[in-house]
Amino acid sequence: MAIGYRIDEKKSPIEESPQYSELNARFSRFLLDFRKEKLAQQLAGNDKNRDEITRGDFQSFKARMTEGLELTDYDLDRIHRRVLSVLLRPEAGLVLQDE
């Protein structure tokens, strides 16, 4: 359960929109990929031993070292709030589904 809202609360029309789902997934993927990249870079280091540590394949190293890394409830709440703020902008042109 993410911080700031409860699972049993009814979702708003904005949260039910395809734009919300798409943007939420996009922001979540970006943050998770960004964290994995940064973590792998820190683990590999920038010294002469980097190739030995990564075995010459940074992407494979990144996948192995960050397996199981997930977003926290705090991250998910921040993404939720950010997506809502983006979609509530007048220039967003949000198209809500008819109920």
pLDDT at 64: 86
Residue that wins the pLDDT comparison between 96 and 75: 75
pTM for this one? 0.71
Segment 47-70, tens digit of pLDDT: 777 777 787 788 888 888 888 889
pLDDT at 30: 96
Chain mean position to CA 11 = 20
Q: 């039910």: which residue's tokens?
A: 16
pLDDT at 63: 86
What's the whole-number mean pLDDT along residues 39-50? 81
User: Does position 87 have pLDDT exceeding 70, yes or no?
Assistant: yes
Q: Which two tokens stand for residue 70?
A: 């997930």
